[in-house]
Amino acid sequence: MTNRTFAIIKPDAVKNNYVGNIYNHILEEGFTILSAKLIKMSKYQAEQFYLIHKDRPFYDELTSFMSSGRCMVLALEKDNAVENWRTVIGATNPDDANDGTIRKLYASSLGENAVHGSDSNENALKEISFFFSYSELI
């Protein structure tokens, strides 16, 4: 079944000029880019996006980092998009990520780990609609 996932190229990867390389991974893996834009989140917006982590000790660090600079948000489409994208990006901690994964190649640290990927179909749709309007997804 074709479905959608939501990705972010995080501020560390944008600053380090990895947007082009990460775009190539996306296209080579056969994802369709439904929509993409460069944004800078406010601290509040990052807090709302990561609300699920609000009780975790790294919440403030995470939301400060995610609002520290420009990032690219993307809506992607492919068969099993959610699971596929999680495989392509690799483990949360780049030290644990498999060779060839985006986080292994481009992440700076556990916190500044280059990319985001949705963890379920349900969250993918919520996250896409958090950042994209209907007309941006046609």
- Residues with catalytic function: 116
Beta bridge partners of 49: none
Give the nearer residue to Mg ion in terms of CB position, either 42 or 120. Answer: 120
| Three-state secondary structure readout of 13-25 | HHHCCCHHHHHHH
CB hemisphere CA count around 56 (13 angstroms): 12
User: What strands, in cross-sheet order, belong to the sheet with 32-39?
Assistant: 32-39, 71-79, 2-9, 115-117
Residue 135: other Cβ atoms inside 10 A: 7
Give the nearer residue to Mg ion in terms of CB position, either 28 or 59. Answer: 59
Does position 78 interact with ligand IDP (CB under 6 A)? The reply is no
User: Which of 4, 25, 78, 116 is in the footprint of ligand IDP by CB under 6 A?
Assistant: 116
Closest approach, Cβ 138 to ligand IDP, in A, equals: 28
Q: Which of residues 75-134 bind Mg ion (CB under 5 A)?
A: 119
Does position 7 interact with ligand IDP (CB under 6 A)? The reply is no
Which residues bind to ligand IDP, rule: CB under 6 A? 58, 61-62, 92, 110-111, 113, 116, 119
